[in-house]
Each structure stands twice: as C-alpha cells, then as structure tokens.
Structure 1
C-alpha cells in the first residue's frame, strides 16, 4: 500500500473530497429560490428536504458505513460512497418533482456518510498523536470551504448555466475522483481478526459497550455533540438578524457567508494545530484544551445576542460562534480516536456523527423553532433572542463535559513522541 507512505498527500486528497461533499450537500441551499420555484415546493417541503431527509439518511448510515470501513478497504468504501452521492447529485439535477428530489437527496446523504468515519480512522492511523489534531482540523476545513464554494458556484456558474447544469457538473467531477480512488488497495483481511471490525450488529454493540465503559470517551462525545448546538442556532441567524435586530436581508446574507467562510476555516486550522501544542502541556490533554476554548468564546457569544447590532463586539461575538464548533473538530476527534481501539475507530466516529445529526442538528433545530413560535404566540416581541441565548448557553455547557473528560482521563498529557501502534490482543 504505497500510498500510505505519503500522509500529506492522503490528507490533501481527503480534504478535496470533503470539500466536494459539502459543496454537493449545500447546493440545495445555494439554489433554494430557483429550486422552490421550478419544483413548485412549499416551504414545508423545502425544510423537509434540507433537514429531515438529510439527517435521517446521513445520521443512520454514518454508523453503518463506519462498520464497513472498520472491516474493509477504507479508500474503496470512500470511493463507493463518492460514486453513490455523485450519481445522486446528477439525479438531483434531473429531478422533476418533490418526491424525486427526496429520493435523490436521501441517497446523496447516504453516500456522503461513508466519508468521515473512514477518513477519520485513516488519518488517526497515518498521523501520530502530536500531529493528529492538526491533520483532523485541516480535513474538516472542507466544511466551511464547501459551504462557501456552494454559494459561490450558485452565484457564478449557476447564475449563467442554471441549477440543473451545476448539479450535473458536480456529479461528473465526483465520478472523475472516485474512479482512481477505487483502485487504491488496502487489504484489511491480512490483519488479525482482532484488528478488524466485526459485522454490523456485533460491532455496534461493541461500540456501545466501549463508550459506556470509558467515562472519558463518553464525556468527550457528549461535549462534542453539545457544541454542535451552535449549528442549530445558525439555521435561525439570518431570520433573527432581520426580524429582531433590524438588519437588511440582502446585505447580511453576504456578510454572514463571508464571515462564516473565513472564521470557520480559521477555526478548523488553528483549533487543530493549537490543540496539538496545548495538549502536550495541559493536564487532560485535548479535553482540557477544548474546555478552555469554549470558556474563552463563551462571553463573546452570549453578549453578542444583546449588544447593539453592527457594533464591534456584535461582530466579534458572531465570529466567535463561527470559530468555536470548527475549532473543536481537531482536538475532539483526536481525543475520541485516541481512546478508541483501532478496529472500531470508524464505527465510533459514525456513532458520534449519528448523535450530532439527531440531537444537535435535527432535534435542536426543531425545538428552537417550536419554542420561538410559542413565545411569539404568548406576545414576546423578540422570541428568537431568548431562545437562541439559551441554546448558545447549552452549547457552552459542553465545557463542563470536556472538563469531566479531562478529569476522567486521569489528567494525562499527550506524550510529545507518540507513535501509532496497531492494536494487538
């Protein structure tokens, strides 16, 4: 497996694929007015497409794809997922009705669910503990870069050629990347049985026992899920800024996109690199770093809801909210993979993605909407402000869980010279 001799090249390739995944994922948002008009969708149907369809498919399939990646060739699992989501991106461009788009987007999400579990386990194997957070952070730059590219494509190529042609082009690009990726070999059958994952049900039960039996691992996953509640707030940010803070819809949309792209990318890169350095000197390693990171961002994020709109502190708080969740990825996944046996790293990552999608993104977003509607009916003049403040406070409570993880780990620091070793019985 000669390709494993160039970890930097593997990381760069995975970043490109991750960027493409989030570009494909967010094209529905970039073209929302055109797609709603051409397919005659209601806002409820569009919300179902953008939210529930994705969460139901991606959340469940992430864990299943993780079990496959722990048993079989990870590059080929990623290639198979890429082929599936690229074919269904093409189908999205051809959809003529709500039902056809639901099916297409469901399988786009299913295919994309193969990427993160396999990629995280692969990076954990290729990079030592002292560089792993940096590698994870760089890989997750694909999220803000993909979001930015989706809107840029919609406003440039899409404005000239239309949303259908844009989906077609992205599907063709995916096929072009997937075919050579499928040729990379990684023979997991050569490993001893205890170094490979088990079939799905057995592997899933083993993961639940592992997470339940390791308090530090369970606390870290809980904190990582909670910090994603910031993304639930993002879904309502533009509505809140326009309806309750009196900002111009067109102007703030462009500003939000640019700030999220810049500070999300900065969070992913700086969070991973600084976390690797800090973990070698802090008792509790990466978990302690994440607790400190949340506490530093907390006052900025909370005050942002109440300071004058457009003031310097207003924008600093907004940027802290864009920065924090992306900065958590490198350290959180480094800590999680470091406490997980090698033969179940993909499955544990998939399990974590399942919890994030169900609890933080799906349930969190629905509860925010329901509470805001309830307060509005009760006569509140700023229902979203209070609800989003409480949601941000819950996200900030992740610091407690990260601190508990640091304590449960015995306050160990990350060794300066850690090397990845295969798990033996």
Structure 2
C-alpha cells in the first residue's frame, strides 16, 4: 500500500474524483430548462429527479457502503462506485422519458454513495488532527468545483453539443478513471478485529448509540443537515433567475457556474483553514466557527433576493450563498470525525450523508418543487422567490443547532479540564 505514503497525492486524486461526481450529479441542474422541456416533465417531477430519486439510492447506500468501508478495502469500494455511476451517467443521455431518467439517476446515486464515506475515513487516517479541517475543506472543494463545472459545461460546450452528448462524454471519462483506480490495493485483513468495523446491523447500532450519548455530535449533525436546505434552493435558483428576474438562460448558467466554482471553492479552502486556526481558540471549537460563518453571510444572502438583478448587491448575495455552505464543510466534518472512534468513521459519514439526502435533498427538493407548483396554481406572484427565500431562512436557522453543539462541546471541555487528578 505504497499509495498511503503519499497523502498529498491521495488528497489530489480523491478531489478529482469528487469533482467528477458532482459534475455528473449536477448536470441536471445545469441543463434543467432543456431537460424539463425535452422530457416534458413538471416542476414536481424535476424536484423528484434532483431530490427523492437520489435519496432512494444515495442516502441508504451511503450508510451501507460506509459500513463496508470500515471493514474492507476502501479503494476498491470507491472504484466500483465510480464505474457504476459513470456507466449510468452515460445511460442518462439515452433517457426518453421521466421514468427512464429516474431509473438511470437512481443508479448514478448508488455509485456515488461509495465515495464520501470511504474518502473521509482515508483522509482522517492520513492527516493529523491539526490539519483535518483544512484537508476536509480541500476535499469538499469538489462540491463547488463540480457544481460550477456542470453549469459551465451546460452554458458552453453543452450549448453546442446538447445535454445528451455531454452525458455520454462524462460517463466515458469516469469509466476510464474507475479502471485506473482499481489497481490501488488496500489490505484490511491484517488490521486488528477491534480496529475494524462490525457487521452492518451491529455497526449501525453503535453509531446510533454514539448519537444518543454525545449531544454535541447529535446537534452538529442536525445543524449540518439543515444547512443543506440551501442546496434545495440552489436547485431552483437558475429557474428563479430566468423566470422571475428575466435573465438569459445560457449566460446565467455561465454566471452561476463561474461564481459557484470560485466562491464555493474559496469557501471550502478558507473555511477549512480558518476552522483549524480558530477552533483551538474558541470555547465551542469547530461548531463555533460555523456559527460565525453563518452570522457573516446571512444578511447579504437574504438581501439579494430583493435587489435589482445585475447590481453589486445581487452578486454579493449570490456569492455569499455559494460561499457559506462550503465554508462549513471543513469544520463540520473535522468535528464529526473527531467525536467518533476510528472504526466507525466511514459509517458515521455514511449516516450523515443519509440524513442530509433524506431530509435536506429529497424532502427539501420535492417540497420546493411542490410548493412552486401549488403557488403557480394559486396565481401567487413570484412563486419561485417565495420558495428560495424559505430555503435561505431554514439554512440560516441551522446556526441554532451549531450553537448548541458549540455550547455542549465547550461544557465537556471544561468538565475535562476541571476534573481533579486522583492521587
């Protein structure tokens, strides 16, 4: 396992795979007007494609594959996942109906579920606790880079090639990467039994026990889930800008892609670095850092929904919305991994992904799509504005749970410090 002796190269490779995962995942957003028109689907069905259908596979498979990653070769699990999602991304380009697209996206999600639990565990093992927030921030930079690249592809090459050819090309690229990744071996059989994860059911019980016994962990995961409601709003942001702000489809796709790529990536890196530096100084540690980020970005995020399109305040608020969730990733993941035993890290990461995808992505996107359809039917003015504002307020409200996590973390730290030594 010589690859473990090059942690920086491992981080770079996992980042590239993560970027590809989010390009494949978010191409539906980049091509949303074209796909909705070509497949003749409703806003509710679109919300189902980017939400519920994803959770039916991704969320539960993340938990299951996370438990496997705590026991077996993490590199092989990632390689199989990349192959499956890439093959089904290629198949997505052939979809002629809502049902066919839903089936293809179901299996794209199944493959992508393998990546984050295994990758987070590998990176936590290879890098020290003092660098963990920064490393997690760099890895999760794959989210804004992938989202941004998906919109850029849709607004540039996709505009001339079409959405189907773009899906074909992405699928082929991923299959090549999966074959190369399969050559990296990781032998977990020599690991001590107590240092490896238990069988699935027992492992899940262990994770649930950790949640019950550690309040900071529970509040941290709840806050992290609610923060992801912001991504449900992002699913409808392009439609909001086109339909209610009168912006051009292709040009705004390029704008969203560019700003998401730039400010989301900045959020990941800056958030990770600041998290490592401030967490040691603030009583609440990493959760307290997240509260500061939310408080800083909240006002411009809400204000930009009301100001004139194209104004400086509009773009400042848009960029704040892209910056915030990714700025929290480094601290949130570093804190979660620091609260759990090594043999449960992938399972806990998978459990967190399950909660995020069920409650934020699936329910959030489906509810947002349904709310738009209901408001349109009731002839409410600017229905998309109402919906994206609601997602903003819920995401900002996650700060209350991060504050609770910070409070309990600080209290536990004080208890440890003030426990008298025994003679």
TM-score normalised over the length of structure 2: 0.89
Asked whether 1:10 is paired with 2:10, we answer yes
**C-alpha distance in 2 between matches for 1:74 and 1:263:** 31
**Deviation (angstroms), 1:35:** 4.9
**C-alpha distance in 2 between matches for 1:238 and 1:180:** 36
Q: What are the residue-to-residue correspondences of 1:14-413 with 2, within 5 Å?
A: 14-32=14-32, 35=35, 40-43=39-42, 45-95=45-95, 97-159=97-159, 161-374=161-374, 380-410=380-410
Contact 1:283 1:412 in 2 (8 A): no
State the secondary structure of the residue aligned to 1:409: helix
- Give the number of equivalent residue pairs: 412
**C-alpha distance in 1 between matches for 2:8 and 2:75:** 15
Describe the superposition over 1:105-127 as per-residue Cα deviations: whole angstroms up to 9, x where unpaired. Answer: 21111001000010011111111
**C-alpha distance in 2 between matches for 1:233 and 1:260:** 14
Q: 1:382 to 1:259 in 2, by over 3 A?
A: same
Unaligned runs of 5+ residues in structure 1 are 414-425
The residue number in structure 2 matching 1:421 is none
Contact 1:63 1:351 in 2 (8 A): yes
**Deviation (angstroms), 1:332:** 0.3
**Deviation (angstroms), 1:339:** 0.3
Unaligned runs of 5+ residues in structure 2 are 414-423
Describe the superposition over 1:22-48 as per-residue Cα deviations: whole angstroms up to 9, x where unpaired. Answer: 12222334445555566x443355543
Contact 2:51 2:364 in 1 (8 A): no
**Deviation (angstroms), 1:265:** 1.2
**Deviation (angstroms), 1:247:** 4.4
Superposition CA RMSD, Å: 2.4
**Deviation (angstroms), 1:142:** 1.1
**C-alpha distance in 2 between matches for 1:49 and 1:376:** 20
TM-score normalised over the length of structure 1: 0.89
Q: Which moved more, 1:354-363 or 1:63-72?
A: 354-363
Contact 1:58 1:113 in 2 (8 A): yes
Q: 1:412 to 1:291 in 2, by over 3 A?
A: farther
State the secondary structure of the residue aligned to 1:189: coil
**C-alpha distance in 1 between matches for 2:164 and 2:372:** 35
Contact 1:62 1:351 in 2 (8 A): yes
**C-alpha distance in 2 between matches for 1:390 and 1:59:** 24
**C-alpha distance in 2 between matches for 1:264 and 1:229:** 16
Q: 1:402 to 1:10 in 2, by over 3 A?
A: same
**C-alpha distance in 2 between matches for 1:100 and 1:376:** 27
Q: 1:90 to 1:366 in 2, by over 3 A?
A: closer
**C-alpha distance in 1 between matches for 2:211 and 2:256:** 37
**Deviation (angstroms), 1:60:** 1.4
Q: Which moved more, 1:75-84 or 1:183-192?
A: 183-192
**Deviation (angstroms), 1:386:** 4.1
**Deviation (angstroms), 1:155:** 4.6
Contact 1:138 1:269 in 2 (8 A): yes
Q: 1:393 to 1:156 in 2, by over 3 A?
A: closer
**Deviation (angstroms), 1:377:** 5.5
State the secondary structure of the residue aligned to 1:71: coil
Q: 1:234 to 1:187 in 2, by over 3 A?
A: same
Describe the superposition over 1:338-395 as per-residue Cα deviations: whole angstroms up to 9, x where unpaired. Answer: 0011111111111111111111122123333444555555664344444433432221
Contact 1:291 1:399 in 2 (8 A): yes
Contact 1:117 1:346 in 2 (8 A): yes
**C-alpha distance in 1 between matches for 2:66 and 2:295:** 32
Describe the superposition over 1:124-154 as per-residue Cα deviations: whole angstroms up to 9, x where unpaired. Answer: 1111111111111111111121123233334
**C-alpha distance in 2 between matches for 1:387 and 1:47:** 13
The residue number in structure 1 matching 2:418 is none
The residue number in structure 2 matching 1:416 is none
Q: 1:391 to 1:172 in 2, by over 3 A?
A: closer
State the secondary structure of the residue aligned to 2:189: helix
State the secondary structure of the residue aligned to 2:345: helix
Contact 2:3 2:10 in 1 (8 A): yes
Contact 2:41 2:98 in 1 (8 A): no
The residue number in structure 1 matching 2:419 is none
